[in-house]
Every structure is written in C-alpha cells, then in structure tokens.
Chains A and B, each alone.
Chain A
Amino acid sequence: MHGQMWPSPATAQASVLANDWLLFGTAGLAVAVIVWGLILFSVFRWRRKGQTEGPLPPQFDSNNPLEIAWTAIPLLIVLALFVYTYRAEADVERLAPKPDVIVDVNAYQWNWTFAYQGGPTVQGSFADPPQLVLPLGETVRIVLTSSDVDHAFWVPDFLFKRDAIPGHPTSFDLNPSKLGTYLGRCAEFCGFDHALMDFSVRVVSSSDFNRWRSAHHT
C-alpha cells in the first residue's frame, strides 16, 4: 500500500479535488508569503534599539483609499475562489443516473461491512480488515450508513470522505481511475478502537472485478 507524502488521486473525482487543493494551496501560499513579507519588512525596516529614544514617528492612523482597496480586493478574490469551489463541488458530488455498481457500506464499532447490491458481502473483522474491491473506469455508488455512532469513510487517495451517521444514509459516487490498493480509515471519532478501523480499497480491471465478484458470491 502507499507510503508517499502526497496522496495520488485515484478517482475521477479525486482529480477535480486535487486541482482544488492546488489552486487554494498556491493562492494561500502566495497570500502568506506576501503578508509575512510585509510583517517582517516593517519590523526590520523600522526597528529601533532601546525603549524611548528619539522623536515620535509620523502619527498617521488612517488612509481611506488604502482601506477601501484592502477591503475590496480580498473580497473579489474570495468571491472568485467561491465560484470555483462551488463548481468543483457540484462536479464531485454529482450522482450518476445509473451507477454500474452499488455498495451498501455500513460502519459500526469498530469495523465495516461492504454489501454489494447483487453481489458478495465483505465482512471485516479485527484480525482481517475488509477490502473494498472496485472496477476501474466504472461508476460506483456508495450508500453509507452506520449502525451505532458517527463514523466516517475516508480514503486519502480519493481525497474524499463522507460521514457515516446512524439513521442518515448518504450516497456518493466514485469513478476509480487508477489501479492499485489504497488505505482507508475511519475519520470520525467513534470510541475505543477508532484508530483501529482501517480498511482498504483495491481497484482492479473490470474483468478482474467480475471474476472476483462471481468467485466470492455466496
């Protein structure tokens, strides 16, 4: 399984999400560098030694055009960021009219059940964490719920999580785009073994998926 610093986007949705990270990360870094620069510049440029020597510096305390500018410009920037975000989220959360595979995922203290509709049910245990097998390039609908407390289904390489809330089933689509095995974790504190609820997701080719499915069908 993976071990690198930055998750590698493994679904079509994750690619959109990764672009969001890139945009915001870059914008954030730029803002941080500029403002840190201004702070450090002022501190070093106008630093004095000692407490209270010398005449007072110019006692200005307002500049209306400047203040309007530094309100209006950030406002425009965040509005642009919001529009981008809105579109990206709509893209990621879109539900296909007819998914190829539907899996009912149930979280419970402290493991997972992956019940493929029309297919096998994968039951996790402490000794044998469950593995969610998914077909490359197809649309997978996850219907997520919990039987006891809040949990969360998180696959870092999908850059995505959804909370599993009892009494509140929720659905999302995954379009796996890269073969491989990916770590999954519970990401909502759920008690003693919250840290020990890892699962895995294995993306295989469509034919391998069908083979796996018929082999495990009980």
Chain B
Amino acid sequence: MSPIAEQAVAPPGRSDLLGWLTSTDHKRIGTLYVITSLGFFLVAGALAVVMRTQLARPNSTLVSPHAFNQLFTLHGTAMIFLVVAPFAVGLANFLIPLQIGAPDMAFPRLNATSYWMFLFGGLTVFLGALTSEGAADSGWTAYAPLSEIKISTGLGQDMWIVGVFLVSVATILTAINFITTTFIYRAPGMTMWRIPIFAWEMVATSLLIFMAFPSLAAALLLLFVDRHLGGHAFDPSYGGNAVLWQHLFWFFGHPEVYVLILPYFGVVSEIIPVFSRKPIFGYTGLVIAAFAIAGLSMGVWAHHMFTTGAVDDPFFSFLSFMIAVPTGVKFFNWIGTMWRGSISLATPMLFCVGFLMNFLLGGVTGVMIASPPIDFHAEDSYFIVAHMHYVLGGGSLFAIFAALFFWWPKMFGVKLDERLGKLCFWLLFVGFNVTFFPMHLLGIEGMPRRVFTYPDVGSFPLLNSLATAGSYVMLAGVVAFAWNVVVSTRKRDPVGPDPWEANSLEWWTSSPPPEHNFDDLPPIRSARPVFDAHHPEIAKGGAG
C-alpha cells in the first residue's frame, strides 16, 4: 500500500464545480490541462481557417490587414503557448505519477497553481481582442521595435506580454514538479533506467524549460519597461539594440520548439511498442538522444537570425546540423521497434505512423534551412511556414491525437469509437498534407509569410486555394473527433485497466484510476512492468 498518508475525501464528481476548482490531484489537473488546451486548439484552429479563407484568393478583402495581423498573432501564440505545450503538460501531469508508481506529484498545490495561472494567462492574451485597438498584432515573436509602444500603441500588446509572462511562470513551476517527482517519487524497483521513455522525455523537456523560459521572461520584462517605464533596450535611436530582442527571444524560442516536440517523441515511443507487440528498440539510445537534442538545442537559437547578418552563422549552422543526428537515431529506433513486429493499425498507431511520415519531412526541411545559403531564400517565406507546420502540426498535433485515442480510456474510462477515429485520422492526414505541402512551393516561388494578401502571379493563386481546401478537410477531421467524443461518451462502453495490452504502470490500475492511483503494484524489474506481469514466461525479471 502507499506509504504516504492522505486525507480520506471523495474525488469530485463531474458536476462538482468547487471540487474541480480546488483539486490538487494530478489526474484532475492533467484532465483540466487537456480539456483547456483542446478548447484553445478549437479557437486557434478557427482563426487559421479564417486566415486560409482570406488567402484563398489573391487580393481578397474578406479580412482587413489589421484583423489579419491579430489573427496570425493569436493563432501562433495560442497554438504554441496554449495548445501544444499545455497538452503535453497535462498528459505528463496525468501520466508521470502513474508511470513511475507514485501517488501524486511532488508539489500538488504548486501543480494546481500552475494550471490556473496558465488558464488565466491564456485568457488574458485573448482578452486583448476586446480592447479598443484589438489584440496584439506583432506576431507571436513580437519583434521589437514593432512591438514597442510607438508602433504597437494598443493595450492588446501589453495584455499579450502579461498573459505570456503568466504562462511562462506557470510552465517553469510545472517543470520543477516534473523533475522532482521523477527523480524522487519512483516506486520500489522503478530505477531511472526502467521509467517509460515518455517520462525521460519529460525530464529533458523540463530541463529545457528551466534553461529557456527565463530568457523569455527577461525579454518580456524589458519590453514592458520599454513600453511603459521609459526604457530603450530595443530602441536604436536611444542606443538600444533591435537585435537584442531577437537574441533574447530566440534563446528561448528555439528550445521552446523542442519543448513542443520532445513530449511527443515520448508519446510515440509509448504507443508504437504497444501496437507492434515489441519492446521499444534502443531504450538507452532514445534517452541519450533526448538529452543530446535538448543540449544542442540551447546552442542553435540564432539560426532564426541568419538573415540579419548580425550573427556567427557557421557556429549556429554547425550545431543545427548536429541536431539531425540524435533525431535520426530516434527515427531509426522507432522503425526498429516496428521491424519484424506484429503491427496493428488501430487509431493511435495510425496517428503515430502519420507522425513519422509528416515529421520526417519537417525534419528534412529543417536540415535544409540549417544551411544559411538556403535560409537566405527560405527565411520568412512560406517555406518556413511549411517547415514549422510539418513539425508542429504534422508532428506534435498528430501525436496529440495519438495520445488522445490511446489514453482516453485510461483518463475517462471509455474507449473512443474506432471507426470514427480512423475517419478522423484520414481527414486530418489528407487535409494536413494538402494544406501544407504546397506551402513549400509557395515559399520557393517567393511568397513571404505574415501577409494578408498576395498578387495574382505565378502559382500563388492555385497553391493558396489548394492550401485553403486542405484546411477545410482538416476542419472536418476535427469535427469528426468532436463527434467521436460525443458518441463515445453517450455509449459509455466500460473499459478495464489494460484495453490495449500495454507495457507501463498506468495500465495496471483501473480506468480511470482511483484517487490514490494504485491499490497494489506489480514487481518492477524492467521498463515494461505490466507486460512482464502478463507475460511471465518472457519477463526479464531476475534473469534479465
């Protein structure tokens, strides 16, 4: 039995509002993060569909330039800060204590505080849209001097600063919880080399958060001082430096994109073995690769600044190329897991295969733009938009759906409908590629990003219309998912502890788990304790 004393209080019911507001249970908090991030996803996705509709035809006047600039600012800010990262945080919140056999996180109240700060921070960013001059409109990157008070005069930019700052602090606090919990609260026998890959990826992610977010916080504070307290950090007419913003922002911004992908490397590392009926291939290599990626990612930030002529291009280009190596190692490990396995293409696995296919292209274009001569043409064009969406959309988003379909039974006690799931996958996969593949060509042809319209030249109209059509197909896929949730919730097919025949500890306990997580624990002698318990003839056990 768990050695840690607890108060005997019943968990909140679904309609117990006060219970949800005051819960410090990692599973409740994780669920709140997941639901909230999905809510922001719907909003940010809707903004994208509006943008794509505006861009379907050249010289369209559907959306004004000012409105369009707010749309892509909110879309980027929300997707990065309020969807992809918080979903991973929520998943990790739910899973990490379960996967390592702990009863909760190390700091439950801090954990809850992080969630509410994230929620209020996110709402603050959007609240800017209600001000007289509208929401922030200088991009999610808020380059100074564009974001300075002289040019971005509205309150929306300030609310963006406050909201993102709140979310940043929340994220740092969460990282503290993850690292402490994983290092200290593991169950007997759960050595660090037996924790799931997902847990390892979250350790690497948390380390990245510590190292990167303070730089963003500093940049935001300086921007605020510039805007309201007479500062001139980024204002060259007073001796400030516009390039400084870029250094501070990207020192955070690049590790941030690895914060946005490492958890999802962990997700596919959990799901692929289950649906291949084999252990994850190259566990040690995956762990070392995760930290190699994290470490290298701290040294590449100025590859976002190649075209400034202000940075040492070869230094950053070299390290950027190097990151391809551990990433490749991971890819080969995932293929090695599937190799000679017994593969079932259930919906979670479909999304993982989609992830692999999509992320590969994103990775390849990433290596291309790590070469400054290529970046001289591609930077700030739709080639970059294509690259980032292939890794964030084709990668992280697909992994989000894989995670939803895989862990939904564990979180909510019902399985999502499999046929609707497959429909959702195909709509998203086809829609995603039709939307974003043409953007490579648009970029090469010369279409810059963050433009509310474009001239009627070359293939611009055709490729843009194609991209817009793809976005509507993606919308259909999201609707299919929402419908799936409704249908499955109504059907309420109950689920046992281990519907997928999986490997890690969360599949030992009931679906959903009791508040204290475990009534008992199996012996933990490998990285697959639940598999070992069900397959004693194969278990490594004392012989392994």
Picked from B282, B451, B459, the residue with its CB within 8 Å of the CB of A195 is B451
Known: A1-B457, A5-B441, A85-B317. A185 touches B448 (CB 8 A): yes
A92 touching B373 by the CB < 8 A rule?
yes
**Interface 9-mer from A27-35, A113-121, A210-218:** A27-35
* Interface mask (A60-98 → B, CB under 8 Å = 1, otherwise 0): 111100110011001100110110011011001000000
CB distance from B320 to the nearest CB of A (A): 9
Tell yes or no: B247 within 8 A of A by CB.
no
Residues of B404-453 whose CB lies within 8 A of A: 441, 444-446, 448-453
Residues on B with C-beta less than 8 A from A156 are 377, 445-446
**Interface 9-mer from A38-46, A99-107, A131-139, A173-181:** A38-46
Residues on B with C-beta less than 8 A from A75 are 322, 325
B368 touching A28 by the CB < 8 A rule?
yes
CB distance from A115 to the nearest CB of B (A): 19
Known: A43-B353, A70-B328, A198-B455. A24 touches B146 (CB 8 A): no
Complex alpha-carbon distance, A42 and B333, angstroms: 13
B459 touching A20 by the CB < 8 A rule?
no
Complex alpha-carbon distance, A35 and B242, angstroms: 41
Nearest residue, chain B, Cβ from A155: B446
Tell yes or no: B151 within 8 A of A by CB.
yes
Picked from B345, B357, B455, B458, the residue with its CB within 8 Å of the CB of A4 is B458
Nearest residue, chain B, Cβ from A170: B309
CB distance from B105 to the nearest CB of A (A): 30
Residues on B with C-beta less than 8 A from A159 are 376-377
Picked from B283, B380, B458, the residue with its CB within 8 Å of the CB of A5 is B458
Picked from A32, A59, A165, the residue with its CB within 8 Å of the CB of B242 is A165
Residues on B with C-beta less than 8 A from A208 are none
Picked from A48, A78, A167, A198, the residue with its CB within 8 Å of the CB of B322 is A78
Count residues of chain A with CB under 8 A from any CB of chain B.
Answer: 86
Residues of B279-297 whose CB lies within 8 A of A: 279-285
Known: A3-B458, A21-B377. A36 touches B357 (CB 8 A): yes
A152 touching B361 by the CB < 8 A rule?
no
B343 touching A42 by the CB < 8 A rule?
yes
CB distance from A172 to the nearest CB of B (A): 7
Tell yes or no: A203 within 8 A of B by CB.
no
B448 touching A165 by the CB < 8 A rule?
no
Known: A42-B339, A161-B380, A190-B146. A59 touches B279 (CB 8 A): yes
Tell yes or no: B277 within 8 A of A by CB.
yes
Tell yes or no: B254 within 8 A of A by CB.
no
**Interface 9-mer from B90-98, B137-145, B479-487:** B137-145
Nearest residue, chain A, Cβ from B335: A38
Residues on A with C-beta less than 8 A from B372 are 85, 89
Tell yes or no: B171 within 8 A of A by CB.
no
Tell yes or no: A204 within 8 A of B by CB.
no
Known: A161-B377, A161-B380. A82 touches B321 (CB 8 A): yes
Residues on B with C-beta less than 8 A from A43 are 338, 343, 345, 353
Residues on B with C-beta less than 8 A from A58 are 278, 340
Residues on A with C-beta less than 8 A from B145 are 148-150, 166
Complex alpha-carbon distance, A35 and B363, angstroms: 12
A172 touching B309 by the CB < 8 A rule?
yes
Residues on B with C-beta less than 8 A from A154 are 380-381, 446, 448
A63 touching B336 by the CB < 8 A rule?
yes
B367 touching A187 by the CB < 8 A rule?
no
Picked from A4, A25, A63, A161, the residue with its CB within 8 Å of the CB of B379 is A161
Complex alpha-carbon distance, A93 and B511, angstroms: 61
B317 touching A150 by the CB < 8 A rule?
no
B501 touching A189 by the CB < 8 A rule?
no
Residues on A with C-beta less than 8 A from B441 are 5
Residues on A with C-beta less than 8 A from B331 are 35
A47 touching B343 by the CB < 8 A rule?
yes
Picked from B317, B325, B335, B377, the residue with its CB within 8 Å of the CB of A17 is B377
Complex alpha-carbon distance, A38 and B335, angstroms: 7
Known: A39-B335, A47-B345, A56-B538. A187 touches B458 (CB 8 A): no
B445 touching A5 by the CB < 8 A rule?
yes
* Interface mask (A1-16 → B, CB under 8 Å = 1, otherwise 0): 1111111000000001
Known: A16-B373, A62-B281, A189-B138. A70 touches B65 (CB 8 A): no
Complex alpha-carbon distance, A162 and B342, angstroms: 52
Nearest residue, chain B, Cβ from A39: B356
CB distance from B200 to the nearest CB of A (A): 15
Nearest residue, chain B, Cβ from A156: B446
Complex alpha-carbon distance, A61 and B392, angstroms: 29
Known: A56-B342, A70-B332, A85-B317. A186 touches B448 (CB 8 A): yes
Tell yes or no: A160 within 8 A of B by CB.
yes
Known: A6-B445, A193-B65. A162 touches B307 (CB 8 A): yes
Greatest chain A CB density within 10 A among B335, B448, B449, B501 is at: B448
A81 touching B371 by the CB < 8 A rule?
yes
Residues on B with C-beta less than 8 A from A157 are 446
Nearest residue, chain A, Cβ from B501: A52
Tell yes or no: B491 within 8 A of A by CB.
no
Complex alpha-carbon distance, A43 and B350, angstroms: 10
A187 touching B338 by the CB < 8 A rule?
no
Top 5 nearest A-B pairs by Cβ distance?
Answer: A167-B236, A156-B446, A195-B451, A170-B309, A189-B450
Task: Supply 16 further A-B pairs (C-beta < 8 A) apart from A168-B310, A195-B453, A195-B454.
Answer: A5-B458, A20-B374, A36-B360, A47-B343, A51-B344, A51-B501, A59-B278, A62-B281, A67-B285, A92-B373, A150-B146, A152-B380, A165-B243, A166-B145, A187-B380, A189-B449
User: Could you show 8 A-B contacts with beta carbons less than 8 Å apart?
Assistant: A21-B374, A39-B338, A46-B343, A50-B344, A62-B284, A168-B308, A172-B309, A192-B66
Spell out B's residues near A (CB within 8 Å): 65-66, 69, 138-139, 143, 145-146, 151, 236-237, 240-243, 276-285, 307-310, 313-314, 317-318, 321-322, 324-325, 328-329, 331-333, 335-346, 353, 356-357, 360-361, 364-365, 367-368, 370-374, 376-377, 379-381, 441, 444-446, 448-455, 457-459, 501, 535, 538
